């Protein structure tokens, strides 16, 4: 059983650019959630995808968007990058969209300069 | 609305000493509670969870936590610290909004010294 994998592990972008982060969910999981973890803080929920539909969103602007594919892998897209978007982005997968345990990937470290 | 408060952003213990990391939660529904550990430059690893049933839950690496409804607490303990326990620990509560949103505390950094 493979775990949650994210790519890339690190990247550097310039303010105003767009970025796409990728996540492969754990085998047997149909739900993917994305979190932003700023330095020295706990992760903050961005949104969740269940069977290719967004079914929950945190307090993030519309320039944060996502996709989930038929194989349940997912992308996080961020447009018009700002310096404050620099953070560790974590993907988590779970068996269902309800209150079940979530398994996290190793994260993507995004630096905006 | 749910929230989590972790008391103590930094905790330092000696190797072999008791580890106690504090977590208090607020929840309008029966809570589902989790402890995660994060090693430097890595993602989050689930240590243990409480959903229903037994209030004392055991996790990996010798950690356990006790759900106390009257105190709205879910403190994490380990009888004897090991150097490899040095990491960041996060307490989280699962939201009740029909989707699997975890609300995390700010984290506690555990240092273990010889």
CA-nearest residue to B38 within chain A is A106
The predicted structure's pLDDT at residue A1: 55
Residue in B36, B99, B107 closest to A97 by CB:
B99
CB A92, CB A72: distance < 8 Å: no
Give me the mean pLDDT over the B54-81 stretch.
Answer: 96
CB contact under 8 A, A33 and B46: no
Q: What integer best gives the mean pLDDT of chain B?
A: 94
Reply yes or no on whether the pLDDT at B60 is more than 60.
yes
The predicted structure's pLDDT at residue A18: 98
Residue entry with tokens 């330092």: B12
Could you give the 3-state DSSP secondary structure of residue A73? coil
The predicted structure's pLDDT at residue B28: 82
Q: Percent of chain B, pLDDT > 90?
A: 81
Distance CA B87, CA B64 (A): 16
Would you write out chain A's pLDDT as a tens digit for each of its 113 residues?
569 999 999 999 999 999 999 999 998 899 999 999 999 899 999 999 999 999 899 999 999 999 999 999 999 999 999 999 999 999 999 998 887 889 999 999 999 99
Phi then psi for residue A91, to 5 deg, are -110, 140
The predicted structure's pLDDT at residue A101: 86
For B20-39, write each residue's pLDDT tens digit. 999 999 988 888 999 999 99
The predicted structure's pLDDT at residue B100: 81
Cα angle value B31/A41/B109 (rounded, 5°): 85
CB B24, CB B8: distance < 8 Å: no
Cα angle value B33/A24/B96 (rounded, 5°): 25
Residue entry with tokens 């996709």: A67
Distance CA B31, CA B93 (A): 7
Chain A residues within 8 A of B44 when measuring between CB atoms: 43, 90, 92, 104
Answer whether the bond into residue A8 is a cis peptide, omega within 30°: yes
CA-nearest residue to B10 within chain A is A40
Pick the range with the lowest mean pLDDT from B8-12, B28-32, B67-71: B28-32
Select the residue from A43, A56, A100 to test the B interface by mutation, using most B Cβ atoms within 10 A: A43
The predicted structure's pLDDT at residue B2: 86
């Amino acid at each position: 059983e493979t775990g949650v994998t994210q790519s890339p592990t690190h990247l550097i972008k310039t303010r105003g650019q767009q970025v796409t982060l990728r996540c492969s969910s754990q085998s047997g999981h149909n739900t993917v959630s994305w979190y932003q973890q700023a330095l020295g803080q706990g992760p903050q929920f961005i949104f969740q995808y269940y069977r290719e539909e967004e079914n929950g969103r945190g307090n993030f602007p519309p320039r944060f968007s996502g996709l989930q594919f038929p194989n349940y892998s997912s992308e996080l897209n961020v447009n018009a990058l700002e310096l404050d978007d620099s953070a560790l982005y974590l993907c988590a997968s779970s068996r269902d969209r309800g209150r079940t345990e979530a398994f996290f990937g190793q994260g993507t470290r995004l630096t905006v300069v | 609305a749910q929230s989590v408060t972790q008391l103590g952003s930094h905790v330092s213990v000696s190797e072999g000493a008791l580890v106690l990391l504090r977590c208090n939660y607020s929840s309008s529904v029966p809570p589902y509670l989790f402890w995660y550990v994060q090693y430097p430059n890595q993602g989050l690893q689930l240590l243990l969870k409480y959903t229903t049933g037994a209030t004392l839950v055991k996790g990996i690496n010798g950690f356990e936590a006790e759900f106390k409804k009257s105190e709205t607490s879910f403190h994490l303990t380990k009888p004897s610290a090991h150097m490899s326990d040095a990491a960041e620990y996060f307490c989280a509560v699962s939201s009740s909004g029909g989707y699997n949103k975890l609300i995390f505390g700010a984290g506690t950094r555990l240092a273990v010294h010889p």
